[in-house]
């Protein structure tokens, strides 16, 4: 027995000494290095593009605010925007933008959330296969088509319901409703992804305690997916704020100006969704579509409006990231 152990040890020692040493050094893989460089280059392009946009907007907006006709205090306090006569109160454009976005969220948020809950918790694979392509079709329709849909279909419906004397042909309500339909696939898709990511074990535990499917969906799954749903709401709001063609066609072709804040809030006239108004994006489209000289005040004002839009969407994206980080739920 002792001789067999000695022979085995000798054999193992001979094999160990005869085998070449294993190389633990990192191998240089040229293909992976190239792919990594390409991916980094693409990321750098997106960063530099954003920086370039911000630089151009900031430079031109600074030139606008340096004009002797422009007063920053009047810009942030007045409710009349008429650059041709030296009136630069941004609030008519800003409030029209917020009004259309608010109406859009009133449509997209409840409908999108209910559709997402149905697709995630109730729909059969066959029904999901039918509804998902329909939502994708909605997302693929050009926005100019939505604009004429709002003008020729939604506006007549509102005028029949509330009266021709109440609802003008161009109004922010019809534009906001159609923008809500436009961003509905975005809210639905992101919310459904957040609901689907909730572990199945939470649903089974709720069912085991006697909860119904509705109670499980509303009280268990929905709170667990809150961070993803909040992110979907903020991203959809950013999309609504930046929408252009719908408001350019259906909302109005001129800002709703007032001489004072008292006049603006008389009967909430500045926020009346049934009156014509011009949003920031709609104003940019209308003004830039004309014959503008590069040294005119109207041309310079477009960059100031664009910079404000940039900071609005940037702020919404920052809020989205904060909400996601604050309410994120991690499960093992």
Q: Is 268 a residue whose pLDDT tops 80? A: no
Q: So what's the pLDDT on residue 28?
A: 66
Q: Is residue 295 part of a domain?
A: yes
Q: Is the domain of 103 the same as that of 230?
A: yes
Q: Is residue 3 part of a domain?
A: no
Q: Is residue 213 part of a domain?
A: yes
**φ and ψ at residue 155, rounded to 5 degrees:** -60, -45
pLDDT one-digit tens code per residue, 269-314:
788 889 989 999 988 888 877 666 677 788 888 888 988 898 888 8
Instruction: Give the mean model confidence (pLDDT) for residues 23-29.
Output: 66
pLDDT at 20: 53
Domain span at 40: 28-66
Query: What Å distances lie between residue 6 and 9, 25, 215, 248, 321, CA to CA?
Result: 5, 35, 72, 92, 67
Query: Are residues 171 and 278 both part of a single domain?
Result: yes
79 and 209 co-located in one domain: yes
Residue 21 has pLDDT above 60, yes or no: no
Give the model's pLDDT for residue 197: 85
Residue 182 shares a structural domain with residue 295: yes
Last residue within a domain, chosen from 18, 46, 66: 66
Under 8 Å between Cβ of 96 and 255: yes
pTM metric for this prediction: 0.83
SS (H, E, C) 193-238: HHHHCCCHHHHHHHHHCCCCHHHHHHHHHHHHCHHHHHHHHHHHHH
Domain boundary among 66, 81, 114: 66
Residue 7 lies in a domain: no
pLDDT tops 90 at residue 86: no
In a domain? residue 209:
yes
Q: What is the secondary structure of 227-286 as a DSSP string?
A: HHHHHHHHHHHHHHHH--HHHHHHT-SS----SSHHHHTGGGGGG-TTS----HHHHHHH
pLDDT band at 15 (very low <50, low <70, confident <90, very high): very low
Residues 139 and 183 in one domain: yes
36 and 144 inside one domain: no
Q: 220 pLDDT exceeds 70?
A: yes
- Beta-bridge partners for 81: 88
Tell me, what's the pLDDT at 171?
Answer: 92
Split into its structural domains, the chain has a count of: 2
241 or 69, which is more confident: 241
- Indicate if 262 and 301 belong to the same structural domain: yes
In a domain, 196, yes or no: yes
Is 99 among the domain residues? Answer: yes
Same domain? For 306 and 268 the reply is yes
pLDDT in tens, 148-190: 999 999 999 999 999 888 888 999 999 999 999 999 999 998 8
Q: Supply the CATH number for residue 215's domain.
A: 1.10.3720.10
pLDDT in tens, 190-216: 888 888 888 888 888 888 888 888 888
Q: Based on the domain organization, do 56 and 162 belong to the same domain?
A: no
pLDDT at residue 100 in the model: 93
Question: Is 56 in the same domain as 88?
Answer: no
Of 38, 66, 94, which residue sits at a domain end?
66
Q: What is the DSSP string of 137-162?
A: HHHHS-HHHHHHHIIIIIHHHHHHHH
Q: Are residues 38 and 149 in the same domain?
A: no
Nearest by Cα to 202 from 321, 120, 110: 120
Query: What pLDDT is recorded for position 208?
Result: 86
Query: How is residue 35 written in tokens?
Result: 């792919």
Average pLDDT of the residues of the chain = 84
pLDDT in tens, 28-80: 678 788 888 899 999 899 889 988 888 888 888 888 888 888 888 888 888 88
- 42 and 114 belong to one structural domain: no
Going by pLDDT thresholds of 50, 70 and 90, the confidence category of residue 98 is: very high
Instruction: Return the pLDDT at 155.
Output: 93
In a domain? residue 22: no
């Amino acid at each position: 027995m002792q001789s067999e152990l000695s022979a085995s040890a000798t054999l193992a020692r001979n094999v160990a000494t005869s085998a070449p040493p294993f190389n633990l050094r990192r191998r240089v893989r040229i293909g992976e290095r190239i792919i990594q460089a390409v991916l980094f280059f693409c990321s750098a392009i997106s960063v530099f593009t954003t920086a370039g946009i911000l630089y151009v907007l900031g430079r031109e907006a600074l030139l606008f605010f340096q004009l002797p006709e422009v007063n920053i205090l009047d810009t942030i306090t007045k409710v009349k925007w008429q650059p041709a006569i030296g009136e630069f109160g941004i609030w008519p454009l800003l409030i029209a933008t917020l009004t259309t976005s608010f109406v859009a969220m009133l449509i997209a948020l409840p409908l999108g959330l209910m559709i997402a809950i149905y697709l995630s918790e109730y729909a059969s694979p066959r029904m999901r296969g039918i509804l998902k392509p329909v939502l994708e079709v909605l997302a693929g329709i050009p926005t100019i088509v939505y604009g004429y849909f709002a003008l020729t279909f939604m506006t007549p419906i509102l005028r029949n319901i509330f009266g021709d004397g109440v609802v003008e042909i161009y109004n922010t309500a019809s534009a906001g409703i159609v923008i809500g339909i436009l961003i509905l696939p975005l809210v639905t898709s992101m919310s459904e992804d957040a609901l689907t990511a909730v572990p199945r074990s939470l649903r089974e535990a709720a069912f085991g305690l006697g909860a119904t499917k509705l109670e499980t969906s509303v009280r268990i799954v929905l709170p667990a997916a809150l961070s993803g749903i909040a992110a979907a709401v903020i991203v959809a709001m950013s999309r609504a704020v930046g929408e252009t063609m719908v408001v350019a066609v259906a909302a109005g072709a001129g800002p709703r100006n007032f001489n004072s804040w008292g006049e603006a809030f008389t009967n909430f006239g500045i926020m009346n969704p049934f009156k014509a108004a011009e949003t920031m994006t709609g104003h940019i489209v209308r003004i830039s579509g004309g014959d503008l000289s590069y040294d005119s005040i109207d041309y310079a004002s477009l960059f100031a409006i664009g910079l404000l839009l940039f900071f609005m969407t940037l702020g919404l994206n920052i809020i989205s990231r904060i909400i996601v980080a604050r309410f994120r739920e991690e499960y093992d």
